[in-house]
Chains A and B, each alone.
Chain A
Amino acid sequence: MKATLILPLAFLMGNAFSQEGKVALKDGPGREKAQACVACHSLDYIPMNSRFLDKAGWTASINKMINVFGAPIAREDVDAIASYLAENYGKK
């Protein structure tokens, strides 16, 4: 169902949204680009899925976000984001 204001959610989620703001990604090259994920979901999805994906695994996740969910991520940024995620949230 489309055509709904998100405002009521913002009202209900007010406190949760402010808490969400406290979820910070680790510093490192590519972090700015990885922030694009917040268009659709909170950043806690990233640490939650660590540390068990290698760079190929993170690349597959990013490509799913673009191809299936329509994430507004440029193709040329996929490698930089995957490198950042593999380095900071990847399998060691």
Chain B
Amino acid sequence: MDKSRRRITLAGGAFALSPISRAFAAPVGGTAELGLAEIPDGALAEQSLFALPGKLPLIRKTFRPPNFETPVQYFRTPITQNRAFFVRYHLAAIPEVAAKDWTLTVGGESAERELKLSLQQLKREFKPAQVTAVCQCSGNRRGLFEPHVPGVEWGVGAMGNALWRGVRLKDVLAKAGVKADALEVVFDGADHAPLEKTPDFVKSLPLEMAMDENTLIAFEMNGEPLPHWNGFPARLVVPGWTGTYWVKQLVSVKVVAKPEGNFWMSTAYRLPKGRFKTPSFKSQVAAANEPITTMVVNSLITSLKTGQQLRVGQPLLVKGVAWDGGSGIAQVEVSTDGATWHAAKLGKDLGRFSFREFSFSMPTREPGSHVVMARATSRAGETQVNQLIHNPAGYHHNVIQRIYVEVV
């Protein structure tokens, strides 16, 4: 039995799957079977399962820089295991950093003094802090955009949820001293490009987000040191905000008085101004566009795939996870007929930045087709959309799934 076939069988869970189910033939990481638009033909044909050192087989989008997506089955638990957590890099020169050699430099023109911190100092001199939070690439589900837009053609798995443990960035900044003119805090990791001319991946946050009590410099993920591919020995954790701000292998933190102007801030990771209701990164707003900030409300059904068949009498079980940009999930509703909606049962609350499990079970009494949908609503009152809000870089896809199953 090959891997994709085994995967689909697991996807069936308690259901008796028909061996002729269309889902069996689905290629690795296809998104049509999830009731969403399909990724581009070329992306579907090229990708395959591949295990990076220390990782489980993940969906390989590109080898170098490494971009690997988490298969759907790993979202059947609210915490995503480290070995299955997605990998996303822009630049291909990624050093292996030894913990004993790592130094974090904290300074900048709007800091009172410069600090050089070893990993030991970071752990000993600051109070520990932890948060369960979703890290999701801004471009998760980019491949589902119609019309397609260029970039890494992600399916649904450029995301994960983990318990991050480290220290509060605000405590480290307080030790360096923040001057009154501070505007943004700028972050650089140890990775860089093969070419000298390529802009280094450097990101900034508004001062108030850097000072937020939930923003961490994390060195542990789910009780273990960070995996190399997820930022060992320490990375930034910005709960609620998209992954682009979660700088890996963090080596430099600078407090500055002017907006950071490099390519990754001024040109990349931008949304047409006003198209989404997410908060503004005020010092970075331009005439036509503004930086992406928090995630939009979203959900993923993990228990069903299009083409699946159930026998009459078996319950139709709709399970999955929901998340948003930090207000928390208020409710998830499920529809099995395209018209009426029913409240799903929510799982344990692991905090407002975490995946929230949901489940809904319906008895099946007669043969027929069902379109299964789930729509999450955040505590901020935001709900998933029926139709894609298109934007040039392919961000914030939170279209409701439409999975077709048959009761026979």
A41→B92 contact, CB < 8 A: yes
Q: Is B61 an interface residue (CB 8 A)?
A: yes
Listed stretches B186-194, B274-282, B317-325; interface member: B186-194
Closest chain-B Cβ to A41's Cβ sits at a distance in Å of: 6
Across the two chains, which residue of chain A brings its CB closest to B252?
A1
Given A1-B192, A50-B42, A68-B267, A41 and B95 touching (CB < 8 A)? Answer: no
Q: For residue B148, which residues in chain A have a CB less than 8 angstroms away from its CB?
A: 52
- Which residues of A9-48 have CB atoms within 8 Å of chain B's CB atoms? 9, 11-13, 15-17, 19-20, 23, 39-42, 44-48
A16→B64 contact, CB < 8 A: yes
Closest chain-A Cβ to B233's Cβ sits at a distance in Å of: 14
Q: How many Cβ-Cβ contacts under 8 Å join chain A to chain B?
A: 118
Query: In this complex, which of B41, B95, B200 has the most chain A Cβ atoms within 10 angstroms of its Cβ?
Result: B95
Across the two chains, which residue of chain B brings its CB closest to A60?
B150
Q: Is B408 an interface residue (CB 8 A)?
A: no
Task: Please measure, in the bound complex, the distance between the C-alpha atom of A69 and the C-alpha atom of B190, giving whole angstroms.
Answer: 18
B195→A70 contact, CB < 8 A: yes
Task: Please measure, in the bound complex, the distance between the C-alpha atom of A23 and the C-alpha atom of B66, giving whole angstroms.
Answer: 14
A12→B62 contact, CB < 8 A: no
Q: For residue A72, which residues in chain B have a CB less than 8 angstroms away from its CB?
A: 195
- Which residues of B45-65 have CB atoms within 8 Å of chain A's CB atoms? 45-47, 50, 52-53, 60-65
A45→B194 contact, CB < 8 A: no
B193→A69 contact, CB < 8 A: yes
Given A2-B192, A11-B96, A70-B198, A16 and B63 touching (CB < 8 A)? Answer: yes
Within 8 Å by CB of A12, from B42, B53, B188, B200, lies B53
A13→B45 contact, CB < 8 A: no
Given A2-B192, A12-B228, A72-B195, A48 and B64 touching (CB < 8 A)? Answer: no
A44→B62 contact, CB < 8 A: yes
A47→B43 contact, CB < 8 A: yes
Across the two chains, which residue of chain A brings its CB closest to B149?
A52
B96→A9 contact, CB < 8 A: yes
B50→A19 contact, CB < 8 A: yes
B95→A13 contact, CB < 8 A: no
List the 8 closest pairs (A to B, CB-CB), nearest first. A70-B197, A50-B42, A8-B96, A20-B63, A52-B148, A42-B63, A42-B64, A47-B42
| B interface residues with partner A (beta carbon < 8 Å) | 40-43, 45-47, 50, 52-53, 60-66, 92-96, 147-148, 150-153, 188-200, 228, 251-252, 263, 267
| A interface residues with partner B (beta carbon < 8 Å) | 1-2, 4-6, 8-9, 11-13, 15-17, 19-20, 23, 39-42, 44-53, 57, 61, 68-72, 89
